[in-house]
Amino acid sequence: EEQLVQSGAEVRKPGESLKISCKATGYNFLNYWIGWVRQMPGKGLEWMGIIYPADSDTRYGPSFQGLVTISADESISTAYLQWSSLEASDTAVYYCASLSGHYDSSGSFYGYFDLWGRGTPVTVSP
Amino acid sequence: EIVMTQSPGTLSVSPGERATLSCRASQSFSSNLAWYQQRPGQAPRLLIYDASTRATGIPARFSGSGSGPEFTLTISSLQSEDFAVYYCQQYNSWPWTFGLGTKVEIK
């Protein structure tokens, strides 16, 4: 069964670092883009960024560029989202999701999130 | 950045009735649009991709239509489990963007 298993809830203080994980099982992790989506309390979904594990090609949403790092370890089929210095505004649920889609003739990828993890709640509070 | 505007913000519908949700893009594109359902306390679930293709396991009462800039998600006969928040998302150009969602509530 295809599944994304996310790491558990985290509580941190402002200024601390954090790395959360998302382990893929039941499908070929290398050959599917995988991404992260933020949901702040009571709010909608925000696309953070995606990574292609086979070559680590990574794209970030402009609101998240430089603020988070997305990475992947193909040896353990796991994607990561990390912060070097958290802020209170990072309090949210973070979902990982794998993508399906298509490529155009120039090699650009057009994808939608078709398999979701259950989410990792992150609380940042003094 | 393409802005996705969903309407209405909240839709009150009785069980068994039809629900029509709209999603308008700030720029026109063909069909690179997905719809997701999020029930309270759960992760989102893919319903529709490529504007009109149902994802695996999605009941036939869910249908998507339209092309840029206007897209529609229709739920033909609402069941109790369909009361949720629905999001559209464009994947036509970077950065991919979500709408703010439409909450479908019991009337």
> Using CA atoms, how far apart are residues B15 and A6, in angstroms rounded to an integer?
34
Residue B30, pLDDT above cutoff 90: no
pLDDT of residue B34: 98
Nearest CA in chain A to B100: A44
Residue B53, pLDDT above cutoff 90: yes
Looking at the complex, report in whole angstroms how far the Cα of residue B103 sits from the nearest Cα belonging to chain A.
11
**What tens digit of pLDDT does each residue of B65-102 get?**
998 799 999 999 999 999 999 999 999 998 999 999 99
Looking at the complex, report in whole angstroms how far the Cα of residue A20 sits from the nearest Cα belonging to chain B.
17
Closest CA to A73 of A22, A25, A18, A4: A22
- Tell me the mean pLDDT in the region A8-18: 98
Q: Which of B32, B38, B91, B100 to mutate to test the interface with A (most CBs of A within 10 A)?
A: B91
Residue A47 has its nearest CB partner, among B92, B95, B100, at B95
> Using CA atoms, how far apart are residues B103 and A113, in angstroms rounded to an integer?
20
pLDDT of residue A42: 95
**E strands, chain B, in order:** 4-7, 10-13, 19-25, 33-38, 45-49, 53-54, 62-67, 70-75, 85-90, 97-98, 102-106
- Tell me the mean pLDDT in the region B44-59: 97
| Cβ contact B55:B37 at 8 Å | no
Whether residues B43 and A118 touch (CB distance < 8 A) is answered with yes
- pLDDT band of residue A35 (cuts 50, 70, 90) is very high
| Cβ contact A82:A18 at 8 Å | yes
**What tens digit of pLDDT does each residue of A39-85 get?**
999 999 999 999 999 999 999 999 999 999 999 999 999 999 999 99
Q: Which of A4, A110, A115, A120 to mutate to test the interface with B (most CBs of B within 10 A)?
A: A110
- Tell me the mean pLDDT in the region A10-24: 98
**What tens digit of pLDDT does each residue of A77-110 get?**
999 999 999 999 999 999 999 999 999 999 899 9
